[in-house]
Amino acid sequence: MDESLAAKVIAEIAAVKRIPLESITIDSTFEELAMDSLDAMNLLFSLEEHFGISIPDEAANSIKDIRSAVARVERILAEKNSAQG
Amino acid sequence: MPTPSGRRVVVTGTGVLCALGSNSAECWSALREGRSGIAPIQSVEMTGLRFQNGAEAHGFRAEDHFEASRCDLIDRFAQFAVVAARQAVSEAGLDLSGPARARVAVITGTSMGGQASLDRGFVAIYKEGKPRPHPFTIPLTMYNAGASQISMDLGITGPAFTISTACASATHAIGQAFWMVRSGAVEAALCGGSEAPFSPGILRAWEAMRVVTPDVCRPFSRDRRGLTLGEGGAMLVLEPAERAVARGAKILGEVVGFGMSSDAGHVTQPSVGGPTAAMAAALDDAQIEPALIDYINAHGTGTSANDATETRAIRQFFGAHAEKLAISSTKSMHGHALGASGALEAFATLRALREGVLPPTVSFNEADPKCDLDVIPNVARNRQAEFALSNSFAFGGLNAVLAFRRWA
């Protein structure tokens, strides 16, 4: 797992939920962070904006925690880079 | 004429915020002192627009009323609705705990809903080249956001919906709520309207219609050049008189009638027949004679066509009694807050009856032979009116009129 990418995702969540960075770890689930479906939607939107990517609806539905969010962003970025390469 | 079956309906709470103030006391003191809230628009970059003035609610800051995370999810127009509703419920001392909350209706009016949020979303797409707008754009924009946010904020589980009839929205909303309380469909209602039209796209759309004055709104004055847009919200708590008296509530006035009509004519050109029919319907509904009306809070937008046509409608309907009527347009102070206007004006009318002071038409310079009514120019008048009408005539030819009575 890309540590700096994880840190960026966590920072986005902290900003979206307006909660302290320290309250979020790589193992936090959205449920633990009291993120409802709108919060999740807001987070995915800010990740899309931040990384210049598009997260498909099916993928979005399966992202329920930080780890899966980071993994998905990592994969999309990798696909994007290989397509460009 | 059929007798409307039902109960007497009174107003036990009012909440209001607009360019004139952040609550009912501040707004009323401006109305009676004839202070206008119209000034150069500050919230939008106005370079290049043919008009510069508006009636903005400068005193309103979302973060004073909502948690930061909730501010993102509620457009300014719905924020106005919620804050006005909280004020009205608090003043009424309305019990919203337990099963009572299922017997309360929430009916809001708005003309443009959260289109300012949609405008921002479109800037993101068309100007900034982003692939999509913010995911909250839909819940921010939806016209029913005011009713929904009020019901969530106050825990009201009864019927809740929104009426959008342009500049008559709030009057239609209050009228519908009045009928529902009168008939016994609900035990109480929160009703009114809210509007927040200050966004670059919306302002330019209004500019393009050429109905906004480059000056300030001067209803019924010969030198009037158009309307001035305003923003704000107002909500009323309606309940049966018997129940309000029984629980010792302070009664602020009575709603006695509601009438509607449609011009079935031109989309923007006002008619005489439609407004006349709506005033007649309101008085029929109230079962009172036209000669009992003392005061009319006019639609009075300050456009050349509206004010002259409204004058003709009033003269046609009231005949000789028109000479005895006192009429004013409080839009000269709070601006034309579109779908909120009817609620701001219902508030002004209720206070006028209660205080025995009729608010003026300010910025009035010169009598117009086409508007030859007593329009209370510039200075409020001490006069104890017993019955009053509040007129709202919308683009699209949809007319709504409320009749109020002083509660003595």
User: For residue A38, which residues of chain B lie inside 8 Å, CB to CB?
Assistant: 73, 135-136, 139
**A76 closest CA partner among A48, A46, A53, A43:** A53
The whole-number pLDDT of residue B5 equals 64
- Where residue A85 falls among pLDDT bands split at 50, 70, 90? low
What is the per-residue pLDDT across B141-186, written as a single tens digit (0 to 9) for each? 999 999 999 999 999 999 999 999 999 999 999 999 999 999 999 9
Is B321 considered catalytic here? Answer: no
Residues 6+ positions from B277 with CB-CB distance below 8 Å: B259, B261, B399
User: For residue B130, which residues of chain A lie inside 8 Å, CB to CB?
Assistant: 49
For residue B1, pLDDT beyond 70: no
- Where residue B2 falls among pLDDT bands split at 50, 70, 90? very low
The number of folded domains in chain A is 1
A65 in contact with B, Cβ within 8 Å: no
B134 in contact with A, Cβ within 8 Å: yes
Q: How many Å lie between the alpha carbon of B62 and the closest alpha carbon of chain A?
A: 16
Q: Domains, chain B, ranges and CATH?
A: 9-246 (3.40.47.10), 258-405 (3.40.47.10)
Residue-averaged pLDDT of chain A: 89
Residues in chain B: 408
Mean pLDDT for B83-109 is: 96
Residue-averaged pLDDT of chain B: 96
For residue B3, pLDDT beyond 50: no
Interface of A with B in 10-49 (CB under 8 A): 17-18, 38, 41-42, 44-45, 48-49
For B352, the enclosing helix (H) or strand (E) is helix B341-355
The whole-number pLDDT of residue A64 equals 92
Residues 6+ positions from B233 with CB-CB distance below 8 Å: B15, B16, B17, B18, B77, B80, B81, B83, B84, B146, B192, B193, B194, B195, B340, B343
What is the per-residue pLDDT across B108-131, written as a single tens digit (0 to 9) for each? 999 999 999 999 999 999 999 999
What is the per-residue pLDDT across B223-254, written as a single tens digit (0 to 9) for each? 999 999 999 999 999 999 999 999 999 999 99
What is the per-residue pLDDT across B255-302, written as a single tens digit (0 to 9) for each? 999 999 999 999 888 999 999 999 999 999 999 999 999 999 999 999
Decide: B181 and B188 in contact? Cβ < 8 Å: yes
Q: Which residue has the tokens 């601006």?
A: B335
What is the per-residue pLDDT across B318-365, written as a single tens digit (0 to 9) for each? 999 999 999 999 999 999 999 999 999 999 999 999 999 999 999 999
Contact A38 B136 (CB under 8 A): yes
- The proportion of chain A whose per-residue pLDDT surpasses 90, expressed as a percent, equals 53
Instruction: Using CA coordinates, name the residue in chain B closest to A44.
Output: B135
- The proportion of chain B whose per-residue pLDDT surpasses 90, expressed as a percent, equals 95
Query: Domain range holding A66?
Result: 3-84
CATH code of A59's domain: 1.10.1200.10
- Where residue B21 falls among pLDDT bands split at 50, 70, 90? very high
B127 in contact with A, Cβ within 8 Å: no
B247 alpha carbon, distance to own chain's centre = 28
- Where residue A60 falls among pLDDT bands split at 50, 70, 90? confident
The whole-number pLDDT of residue B4 equals 53
Which one of B167, B191, B217, B371 is the catalytic residue? Answer: B167
Is B299 considered catalytic here? Answer: yes
How do strand B253-262 and strand B326-328 relate by DSSP bridges?
Answer: unpaired
How many Å apart are CA B341 and CA B380, to the nearest integer? Answer: 20
What is the per-residue pLDDT across B31-50, written as a single tens digit (0 to 9) for each? 999 999 999 999 999 999 99
B129 in contact with A, Cβ within 8 Å: no
Buried b or exposed e, range B298-327, using 16+ CB within 10 angstroms: bbbbbbbebbbbbbbbbbebbeebbeebbb
Q: Residue B127: how many CB atoms within 10 A of its CB?
A: 8
Contact B69 A41 (CB under 8 A): no
B131 in contact with A, Cβ within 8 Å: yes
Which residue of A17, A18, A41 is in closest CB contact with B135? A41
User: For residue B135, which residues of chain A lie inside 8 Å, CB to CB?
Assistant: 38, 41-42, 44-45
ipTM score above 0.90:
no
